[in-house]
Amino acid sequence: MEMSPGLASGNQSKPAPGIMALSLPETTGENAISRMAEASYLVRVPLSDLEQRWQGAGFLRIHRSYLVCMPCATALRLGSAKPTVSVGNAELPVSRRHLPAVREHLQATRVRPAP
């Protein structure tokens, strides 16, 4: 895993092109892993900071460990016992705590989840 060229410069005010989701595995502490279509990169910025900075770019916190580019989502399953958002080949969990915000975001963007 390498440092993302778009994030290594210290300019995290907007996401680098191609970033679809950020995850925060327990093993990395406060560092996030940037998941892109072609690779993964270590991002040395707390996920909570990126959540605030990138909110206007369509990123949404769906779980304490995941920040997702909602326009990149390929499938949403919010009505099941274990709600998920699919981004690329990854199926990411939506926590109960963040589910209302995900639904609110979908309402605001006029995207309707499938039943």
pLDDT tens-digit profile of 22-61? Answer: 665 444 566 676 666 666 677 777 888 888 888 888 889 9
Looking at the whole model, is its pTM more than 0.85?
no
Average pLDDT, the chain: 74
CATH of the domain at 94: 2.40.50.1020
For 62, the domain range is: 2-8+18-108
Residue at 114 is within a domain:
no
Give me the pLDDT at residue 32, please: 72
Number of domains composing the chain: 1
3-class DSSP state for residue 34?
A: strand
**Residue spans of alpha helices (H) in 1-115:** 5-8, 47-54, 99-108
Within the chain, strands assigned E span 2-3, 19-23, 32-36, 40-43, 59-63, 66-69, 73-77, 84-87, 90-93
55 assigned to some structural domain: yes
